[in-house]
Amino acid sequence: MTDQMTFRLAWRNLWRRPRRTLLTLSALVLTLAMLIFFGNLMSGMWDRIIRVATSSLVGQAQVHLAEYRRTQDPERFLRDRDALISALERQPQVKGASARIYAPALAAMGDRSQSVRLMGVDPEREAMVTSWKDRIWQGRYLTDDGGALIGKRLAEKLEIGVDSKLVVTVADLRTGDLNSVLLRVHGILWTQNPKVDEGSVIVTLPTAEKLAGLQNAAHEVALTWHTTGEVPPTTPSLPRDDLVFSTWQELIPGMAQAYNLQSGYLWFSFVVVFLLVALSIANTMNMSLMERHREFGILMALGTSDRQLVGGIVSEYFLLGGLGSVAGLVLGLLITLACAQTGITLTGVEVMGFALDEPLYPRTDLAFSFGQALTFWVLTPLISYWSVNRLRRMDPVEILQASM
Amino acid sequence: MQREIVAKTIDVKRHYETKGGCVKAVDGVTMQVEAGEFLAIAGPSGSGKSTLLNLLGMLDEPTDGRIRLEGRDIEGLSRTERARIRRDHIGFIFQAYNLIPVLTVAENVEYVMMLQGQDTASRRQRALEVLAEVELEGKEDRFPQELSGGQQQRVAVARAIASRPALILADEPTANLDSKTAIALIDMMERINREQGTTFVFSTHDPRIMKRSSRMIRICDGKLEEEAAEVLV
Ligand SMILES: Nc1ncnc2c1ncn2[C@@H]1O[C@H](COP(=O)(O)OP(=O)(O)O)[C@@H](O)[C@H]1O
Ligand SMILES: [Mg+2]
């Protein structure tokens, strides 16, 4: 009975009680729209967190001496740094390659001192990998003339500002002797990444080498790609086999996991919310089926099979689900787009230590949005099927008698 | 002239087990319906008329006894098979509220033909034809609730005859109508029976309606009382 009359019948039955149908429909539409918006907002949030994490420190990938990667022991630095950098920079997918030297250090200002992480970088190359140049809260970016950048929270702890002087003491990585240097603070960094903001003193490579007793060495090389997006480009070839290459997902596995977890969680909460809506659908549906009981008896008497009867009612909810899905999708995308213009400010919210102080912009994830809408469309008639299937066992005589 | 037998019951029983004991709604009825008959089943309220018609119409199954429809035993069929036989061989007219309110008059008439898989154009044509037969030309695009009770019953008659079933069962089709409209409806059914040879079985407890039948069966407490001879129209 896949006749247009089936759908005409379903359509008209759907609108027998326009108010009731509109209520059910708006519940569907609003729920779907909110879920789509919320999902897109979460995508935007994770984009932000990942971007902050990668652009504030990690980069898109890194190269280390295999042993350093495993042990994090600062004595396991890699040599021939300059040759490695130029080998990496020659590869077409590499946009930036920045060598870094790390050393545990003590920063002192008057009678206050704080253990910190000294980080030596090449200011020009580092600017290709991290966004520090744009993240200077006060002062200016690092130059080759020997100053230091410090994180905002460190500056607050030490109660210092731009142009303050800081004594940094580092143990020589070869001899163990203590080397100290007086550094002038050039700028204060605010990246929203606690690893940078809380405990980093950033200096030029020559300064770091002098303090740590190294030459043409590095602990890591951070990389960025020319392409952005989910799919990483081909792994660059490494000139030596004592080196290892790691993507940001491997470097901050907690974040990649949390990201996957949140999309799973999103689908889970989606199902929960949908089930709540489904309950109300099933409820109004039972009411409407009760009212039409006698008609079902007549239809059965006329020779409508159980399958056709159930199919007709499921068609109604197929139409309802279709209407709700399309309208909810449109509304959800409209809210997403509107919010993408203005942004949403969630002051005081922190996710994995990353503050979300700046306005958050949802990302229009079309696959996700259409997926949710489609799921709604499929689930709505499925729920009606489950609740209407009992008609299959009903006795037409009983129905006709009861409703006379 | 030996007429073809459309339906036949042999010692059919339909008992209901209730808290108050066993209700023998139909209790051993043997009867037959011949092709072209205009057969009345008469009896007071609660005598078993509806139950007997439902049994003949394959809406219900007997507790005991046999029913033959067009020479065929109809026991042990599945729900789907029974639905199919109703669709293709039987037309129903109930006391009231026969029509699907969201379908137009023509669509109501077309419904069974749609179930049978007839194409849109031919079933529409047939619907208009039978609507003319019941004097409802021009009402095809109205909705049932825009019609009077008598007109609605005529739509039900049109729907029942549209697919040319072997047997039309009408359970007190006039009970909800005033007597003038009731007589008009039964006269219309009788005319269709006479002109087209459609077989009708209808139940009633109204003596003036009984008089219109070509034959009458009286039922009381689920049992046939007597079989009256042909009543002249
Ligand atoms: N489902 C049922 N359960 C119990 N008793 C029933 C049921 N259906 C009908 N009856 C009883 O069977 C008898 C015949 O009913 P019915 O065929 O409806 O009579 P009529 O149509 O002549 O008024 C009545 O006494 C009625 O109460
Ligand atoms: Mg009755």
Asked if residue A104 lies in contact with residue A115, where contact means CB atoms within 8 angstroms, the answer is yes
Q: Does A160 share its domain with A222?
A: yes
Residue A353 within a domain: yes
Q: What is the DSSP letter of B14?
A: E
Low-confidence ranges of chain A (pLDDT < 70): 1-2, 228-232, 347-357, 403-404
Q: Does A94 share its domain with A185?
A: yes
Q: Does A160 share its domain with A215?
A: yes
**B59 pLDDT band (50/70/90 cuts)?**
very high
Q: Does A142 share its domain with A266?
A: no
SS3 label, residue A390: helix
B89-122 pLDDT, tens digit per residue, is: 999 999 988 999 999 999 999 999 999 999 999 9
Q: Does A36 share its domain with A99?
A: no
Q: Give phi and psi for A65, each to the nearest 5.
A: -70, 135
Residue A354 within a domain: yes
Report the separation in Å between the CA atom of B48 and the middle of ligand 1, taken as the mean of its atom positions. Answer: 6
The answer to whether the CB of B78 is under 6 A from ligand 1 is no
Asked if residue A81 lies in contact with residue A216, where contact means CB atoms within 8 angstroms, the answer is yes
Q: Does A385 share its domain with A366?
A: yes
Q: Does A344 share its domain with A391?
A: yes
Q: What is the DSSP letter of A218?
A: B
Asked if residue A132 lies in contact with residue A191, where contact means CB atoms within 8 angstroms, the answer is yes
Contacts of B79 in chain A (CB under 8 A): 305-306
**B232 pLDDT band (50/70/90 cuts)?**
very low
Q: Does A17 share its domain with A67?
A: no
The answer to whether the CB of B213 is under 6 A from ligand 1 is no
Q: Which ligand is nearest to the CA of B205?
A: 1
Residue A320 within a domain: yes
Domain that holds residue A87: 61-229
The answer to whether the CB of B127 is under 6 A from ligand 1 is no
Both tokens of residue B89? 């061989």
For chain B, the farthest-separated pair of C-alpha atoms sits apart, in whole angstroms, at: 53
Strand extents, DSSP E, A140-190: 148-151, 165-171, 178-189
Euclidean distance between CA atoms A318 and A274, whole angstroms: 16
Residue A280 within a domain: yes
Asked if residue A209 lies in contact with residue A217, where contact means CB atoms within 8 angstroms, the answer is yes
Number of separate domains in chain A: 2
ipTM summary value: 0.93
Q: Does A182 share its domain with A212?
A: yes
pLDDT of residue B229: 45
Euclidean distance between CA atoms B93 and B202, whole angstroms: 9
Q: Does A111 share its domain with A196?
A: yes
Q: Does A38 share its domain with A66?
A: no
**pLDDT value at B200 more than 50:** yes
Which atom of ligand 1 is nearest the CA belonging to B26? 14
Residue A138 within a domain: yes
**Listed residues A229, A244, A267: the one ending a domain:** A229
Contact B100 A3 (CB under 8 A): no
Contact A295 B79 (CB under 8 A): no
Interface test with A, best of B86, B99, B113 (most A CBs within 10 A): B86
Residue A11 within a domain: yes
pLDDT of residue B72: 86
B150-180 pLDDT, tens digit per residue, is: 999 999 999 999 999 999 999 999 999 999 9
Both tokens of residue A98? 């920045």
Residue A219 within a domain: yes
Residue A246 within a domain: no
